[in-house]
Amino acid sequence: MKDTLTGPTTVERSEGEVIARARRGDAGAFEYLYKAHCRHVYSLCLRMIRNPAEAEDLTQQTFLQVFRKIGTFRGESGFSTWLHRVTVNIVLMRLRQRKRTEVLLEDLDHPGSDNEAPREFGASDTSMFGAIDRLNLRRAIRKLPSGYKRFFLLYDVLGYEHHEIAQRLGCSTGCSKSQLHKARKQLRRLLQEERCVAREADVAAA
- 116-136: average pLDDT: 47
Burial 30-47 (b: 16+ CB within 10 A, else e): bebbbebbeeebbebbbe
Q: Which residues contact 142 (CB under 8 A, 6 or more apart)?
A: 108, 109, 111
- CATH number, span 10-97: 1.10.1740.10
Q: Is 129 helix (H, G, I), strand (E, B) or coil?
A: helix
Least confident of 95-99, 148-152, 162-166: 95-99
Give the start-to-end residue ranges of the domains of the chain: 10-97, 124-205
Angle (deg, nearest 10), helices 15-23 and 27-49: 100
- 42-49: average pLDDT: 89
pTM here?
Answer: 0.48
Least confident of 16-20, 107-111, 174-178: 107-111
| pLDDT tens-digit readout, 60-89 | 999 999 998 898 888 777 898 899 989 988
| CATH T-level fold of 124-205 | Arc Repressor Mutant, subunit A (1.10.10)
